[in-house]
Amino acid sequence: MRKGALKKKQRQLEELHLDRREALGELVLGMFVQGSWDDSLLARGAAEVSEVETELKSIVAGDVTDVSELESAEHDFPVTGEYTAEHAYPVTGEYTAEHSLPDTGEHTAEHSLPATGEHSDERTTPTPAPPAADETAVQKLPKTPPAKPKAEPKPAQPKVVPAPVPPSATAPAPTPEPVSKQATPAPAAKETPKPAAKADAPAPATSASPADAAKPAVATPPAAPELTPLEKISARLEESESKAKAAAEAAKASINADSKTELSVITREVENDQKKLDETLKAAAASIAAAEERADKAEAKLARESAASREAAAGWVRSQAAEIEADAALAAEIASPQSESAVPPPGGAKTEPDAATAAQIAKLEADLAAEKASKAEAISNAEARLKQIQESARQAEERVAAAEKAAASTAAIAAETPAKPGTPKESAEAEAESREAAVNWLRGQIAAMRHELSKDDATPVPPKPKGDS
Amino acid sequence: MGLFSKGGQSGRERRAMKDHLDELDELRRTSLGELGEMTVQMADAGRFDRAALSEKATQVVSIDREADLIARGLEEGLTLEELEDLARREDEPGTDPGVSGSNPRR
């Protein structure tokens, strides 16, 4: 039976795997057609497929010896493959299998059980039993003592459950209160240490999904007397499973809400920080702009003040110049009436001729000084001229002496040699005549100069020294 | 016209179209499974290659289009030749075969 259940489970998982893959493909196709990709949704779908794939692999590898060990998620989804996330149990958990059953419970197996206790074995069936003995658990069930305490929840209760039974019409019946109390803690105790990622498939596995279990319960009328203890246990387990699922869904929802809240808080903080940063940047920019504006104003003010000071300095200088000019004009005005008033002295006949005389004297002195200067200049010029003349006379005398000497030599040469008639004699005479003319001219010059000098010396020049001549 | 013909469509053509439609359905499921598997692999790798996903999705879309065409041929009783003409008109850009005389017999 266990092998058959495993094979069936494997088959179901394979179908579920295919269906989920196709559903994921449909999801991708929808995103492609709509042009809006959602990576998180893709990741979720891929995780669901991976989950089934993992379970399938574990079954194929033989790691799972009991179907109840699987945390199969196929209970969440119908086998038809039209599963999407919204097909899972509602977050509120209000839908479970027992909702599809009448509240009256008149057809449930529990109600059909007599209170005599002969069927109390079923109520106490979730007794702890070794996992290896699960195959014989059903056979041992009647042998268990009926006096076991009812309120004793056992953690290993689901593992005692035999292989899943195909859903019968009467299986998912609501259990009476004591039984449900007894059965509920077991899956919950098993479920609490599970991670939240598995929250969508937390319950211990049975072969049939709750949806499958619920459908026949609604469709066909219950046949209470035909309930077997196994079916009752199965029903109880399904009920507890559904409750655990509801709790898990609620936990998942709360986790999602918490994460969303946390994310929103972080996002809000980031936005606030960003706003503060923007405001700070704006304030800094405004202060920088204000500082630049103040600097421009100060620069313009400085330029204006410097121009004004320059202008003021120029005005002061002009005013000073004007004042000086005014003072000079005033001084001139003051000075001119004094000179005019000084000309006609009231009664001094002696002073008038003295001034004129003094002026004339001064003028004469000036003229005299100028004349003296001119005379001194003329004298110096004459001295230079005289020296020049004396020099030239000396040179002329030297030339004359040289010519005489040359003439004497030529005469001597001529005397020695037979003289030719005419030419030497004539040349000597010409030379003598030229020399005589030069000497005469020089003598006349010297006489003229001496006469001029003598005439200059005759004029009265008291302080001036006379020339060297 | 055969006994089971519908419009200008013979029974053989109708059967062939149904078979082809079944093939397309199977191909679509296979492609969707491959697309899902590809997505799972990308999720494991931590990165979704949208170009590859789009390429695969384009194949599925083309399968869908062909299936729609075949379904339309079955529904309207088109012959294979008419269906081929319709497909060619669909391939031409700027034409709407659904409007411009999809079934000349009607």
Rounded distance, CA A434 to CA A428, Å? 10
Is A21 close to B54, i.e. CB distance below 8 A? no
Is A26 close to B32, i.e. CB distance below 8 A? yes
Is B36 close to A42, i.e. CB distance below 8 A? no
ipTM over 0.90: no
Residues of B in contact with A47 (CB under 8 A): 43
Is A21 close to B60, i.e. CB distance below 8 A? no
The DSSP 8-state label assigned to residue A31 in this structure reads H
Residues of B in contact with A22 (CB under 8 A): 29, 32-33, 36
Looking at the DSSP assignment, which residues form a beta bridge with residue B9?
Answer: B6
Which residue on chain B is closest to A35 by alpha carbon? B54
Which residue on chain A is closest to B61 by alpha carbon? A29
Residue A263: predicted pLDDT: 83
Is B40 close to A22, i.e. CB distance below 8 A? no
Positions of chain A with pLDDT lower than 70, given as ranges: 1-2, 64-226, 337-353, 414-425, 456-469
Q: Which of A245-254, B21-30, B93-102 has the lowest mean pLDDT?
A: B93-102
Option in A18, A39, A53 nearest B48 (CB): A39
Residues of B in contact with A33 (CB under 8 A): 57, 61
Is A47 close to B33, i.e. CB distance below 8 A? no
Residue A5: predicted pLDDT: 80
Give the DSSP per-residue string, A352-389: HHHHHHHHHHHHHHHHHHHHHHHHHHHHHHHHHHHHHH
Which residue on chain A is closest to B59 by alpha carbon? A29
Residue A281: predicted pLDDT: 93
In a domain, B100, yes or no: no
Closest approach of B51 to chain A, Cα-based (Å): 10
Residue B25: predicted pLDDT: 92
Residue A103: predicted pLDDT: 46
Is B32 close to A25, i.e. CB distance below 8 A? yes
- Domain of residue B33 covers 11-76
Domain residue ranges of chain A, discontinuous segments joined by +: 2-266, 370-458
CB within 8 Å of A341: residues ≥ 6 apart:
none
Rounded distance, CA A361 to CA A384, Å? 34
Is B32 close to A21, i.e. CB distance below 8 A? yes
Pair A385, A449: CB distance under 8 Å: yes
pLDDT in tens, A384-433: 888 888 888 888 888 878 888 887 887 777 666 554 555 666 777 877 88
Residues of B in contact with A24 (CB under 8 A): 35-36, 39-40
In a domain, B88, yes or no: no
pLDDT in tens, B59-95: 999 999 889 988 988 888 888 888 888 888 776 655 5
B58 touches A: beta carbon within 8 Å: yes
Is the overall model pTM greater than 0.80, yes or no? Answer: no
Which of A233, A217, A254, A225 shows the shortest CA–CA distance to A96? A217
In a domain, B42, yes or no: yes
In a domain, B5, yes or no: no
In a domain, B97, yes or no: no
Rounded distance, CA A214 to CA A27, Å? 28
Residue A67: predicted pLDDT: 58
Helix (H, G, I), strand (E, B) or coil at B9: strand
Pair A127, A190: CB distance under 8 Å: no
Is B32 close to A37, i.e. CB distance below 8 A? no
Which residue on chain A is closest to B41 by alpha carbon? A46
